[in-house]
Amino acid sequence: MGLTGLLGAVFNLDHVGKYIHWGFIQLSVSNAIVIGLMIVTFISALFLPFPGRRNRKEGK
């Protein structure tokens, strides 16, 4: 099995899409995952230390 086959087995998209239903809100699981990743990235960007920040002079 080549790399493509291996990836295909992990990310098998050959089926009907899965959806989350929440009242009138309906979104696909893949979109929900992307939104979740965006929220995680946003929060990480606020709290993770930025490399080289300590070495910078204030105001520069």
Least gap, CB of 53 to another protein (angstroms): 4
User: Does 38 sit near another protein (CB under 8 A)?
Assistant: yes
Rounded Cα–Cα distance for residues 11 and 48 (Å):
30
Q: Which residues pair with 27 in a beta bridge?
A: 20
Cβ neighbours of 17 (radius 10 Å)? 9
Rounded Cα–Cα distance for residues 28 and 33 (Å):
9
Among 15, 18, 21, 57, binds another protein (CB under 8 A): 57
Q: Which is nearer to another protein, 20 or 30 (CB)?
A: 30
Residues that bind another protein (CB under 8 A): 34, 37-38, 41-42, 44-46, 48, 50, 52-53, 56-60
